């Protein structure tokens, strides 16, 4: 109980620390549905490895996972197809470029996108997710998201999906380029719809904290004790989160904050300090790289106060 009370104070302090920074960011403007969101929202949730949850701020509001879903779809694609097959479609190297950059997509000998945490790589990974049709593939992703977050309410936000589909010309260009380079099997448009659906899965920061706790707990569900992800895959996911999870801020974030994390332009950040806890933050005001400004400050504060830096 004492431990929980201390964490509660720390979370509230972290929230207070992050709050003044939200005015330096703004919601993602390139997806019309996201541009409308109130930038002042801010919340943080921490899930201990026994499943107990501590929260501060706006923690019950649903928002779309966006790029955070890339961790989940990678794990699912590997579960369905095996590790070796998925990495015939995508590499493991960080780029240092923006998440939606195309510059490196047509200059490699094997034509593979660099890693699964950038859009091109995640689109290639989505193309591996199995099912008889789009609806079945969407359902598989939603079910997996519910398992990893422990929340049966998690679902696709179809207004965000429609907004992304209507404006996603860059992502469409990437999949067409990868198709012409032999990376994508089957129909690009269905894979792209699946990718937009996965990005539009909506959750709360408590759900992200739970997912983080599964990753921090070596793939084991904190409440049921069941293994949800094999250890080899958890290690891979956490490594890619460290090297590529925070867009072109990943290097500095790994050095200064030091927790495997994945950010999304919906304003969420998922963190998984190994063997410690899971953390979810939500703050839709983003910096120019696409990371939540308030969220970054909250994580920085918690990493310092709770000594969560992995090194």
CB-wise, 27 or 219, nearer to ligand GLU? 27
**Separation CA 116–CA 119 (nearest Å):** 7
Residues 59, 265, 281, 293: which is the catalytic one?
A: 265
Near ligand GLU by CB under 6 A: residue from 21, 99, 114, 210? 99
Report how many residues bind ligand GLU under the rule CB under 6 A: 11
Near ligand GLU by CB under 6 A: residue from 7, 73, 100, 163? 100
Catalytic residue flag (residue 197): no
CB-wise, 212 or 264, nearer to ligand GLU? 264
Q: Shortest distance, CB of residue 2 to ligand GLU, whole angstroms?
A: 38
Q: Shortest distance, CB of residue 67 to ligand GLU, whole angstroms?
A: 3
Catalytic residue flag (residue 83): no
Near ligand GLU by CB under 6 A: residue from 48, 95, 138, 171? 171
Per DSSP (E only), the strands in the chain are 43-48, 53-57, 63-64, 155-156, 201-203, 261-263, 268-271, 277-282
80-83: long-range contacts (C-beta < 8 A, 24 or more apart)?
Answer: 80/128, 80/129, 80/130, 80/140, 81/128, 81/130, 83/232, 83/233, 83/236
Catalytic residue flag (residue 24): no
Residues 21, 44, 54, 67: which is the catalytic one?
A: 67
Q: Shortest distance, CB of residue 198 to ligand GLU, whole angstroms?
A: 9
Q: At what angle do helices 69-81 and 119-126 cross, to 10 degrees?
A: 40
Contact 23, 254 (CB under 8 A): no
CB-wise, 67 or 271, nearer to ligand GLU? 67
Catalytic residue flag (residue 70): yes
**Separation CA 68–CA 62 (nearest Å):** 14
CB-wise, 157 or 221, nearer to ligand GLU? 157
Cβ-based burial of 149 (10 A; exposed 0-12, middle 13-18, buried ≥19): buried
Residues 21, 163, 195, 261: which is the catalytic one?
A: 195
Cβ-based burial of 182 (10 A; exposed 0-12, middle 13-18, buried ≥19): exposed
Is 207 a binding residue for ligand GLU by CB under 6 A? The answer is no
How many C-beta atoms lie closer than 10 Å to residue 221's C-beta? 18
Q: Give me 170's structure tokens.
A: 């860059």
Q: Shortest distance, CB of residue 33 to ligand GLU, whole angstroms?
A: 11
CB-wise, 265 or 277, nearer to ligand GLU? 265
Where in 264-303 is the site for ligand GLU (CB under 6 A)? 264-265, 290
Where in 175-204 is the site for ligand GLU (CB under 6 A)? 199
Instruction: Give SS3 for 277.
Output: strand
Residue listed under structure tokens 């707990």: 217
Q: Which residues are near ligand GLU by CB under 6 A?
A: 66-67, 99-100, 119, 164, 171, 199, 264-265, 290
Query: Which residue numbers are catalytic?
Result: 67, 70, 195, 247, 265
């Amino acid at each position: 109980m004492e431990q929980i009370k201390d964490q509660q104070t720390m979370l509230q302090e972290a929230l207070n620390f992050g709050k003044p920074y939200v005015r330096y960011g703004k919601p993602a403007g390139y997806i019309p549905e996201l541009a409308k969101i109130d930038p002042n929202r801010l919340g943080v949730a921490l899930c201990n490895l026994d499943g107990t949850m501590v929260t501060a701020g706006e923690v019950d509001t649903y928002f779309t996972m966006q790029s955070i879903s890339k961790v989940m779809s990678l794990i699912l694609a590997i579960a369905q197809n095996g590790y070796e097959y998925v990495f015939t479609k995508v590499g493991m190297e960080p780029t240092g470029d923006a998440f939606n950059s195309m510059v490196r997509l047509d200059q490699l000998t094997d034509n593979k996108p660099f890693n699964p945490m950038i859009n091109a790589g995640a689109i290639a990974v989505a193309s591996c997710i199995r099912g008889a049709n789009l609806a079945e593939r969407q359902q598989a992703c939603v079910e997996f998201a519910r398992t990893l977050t422990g929340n049966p309410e998690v679902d696709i936000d179809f207004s965000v999906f429609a907004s992304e589909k209507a404006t996603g010309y860059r992502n469409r260009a990437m999949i067409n380029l990868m198709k012409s380079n032999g990376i994508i099997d089957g129909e690009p448009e269905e894979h792209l719809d699946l990718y937009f659906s996965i990005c539009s899965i909506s959750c709360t920061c408590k759900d992200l904290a739970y997912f983080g706790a599964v990753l921090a707990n070596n793939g084991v569900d904190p409440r049921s004790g069941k293994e949800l992800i094999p250890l080899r895959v958890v290690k891979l996911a956490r490594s890619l989160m460290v090297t590529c999870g925070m867009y072109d801020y990943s290097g500095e974030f790994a050095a200064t904050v030091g927790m495997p994390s994945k950010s999304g332009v919906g304003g969420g950040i998922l963190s998984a300090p190994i063997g410690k806890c899971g953390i979810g933050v939500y703050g839709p005001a983003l910096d120019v790289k696409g990371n939540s400004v308030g969220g970054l400050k909250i994580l920085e504060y918690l990493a310092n106060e709770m000594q969560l830096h992995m090194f």
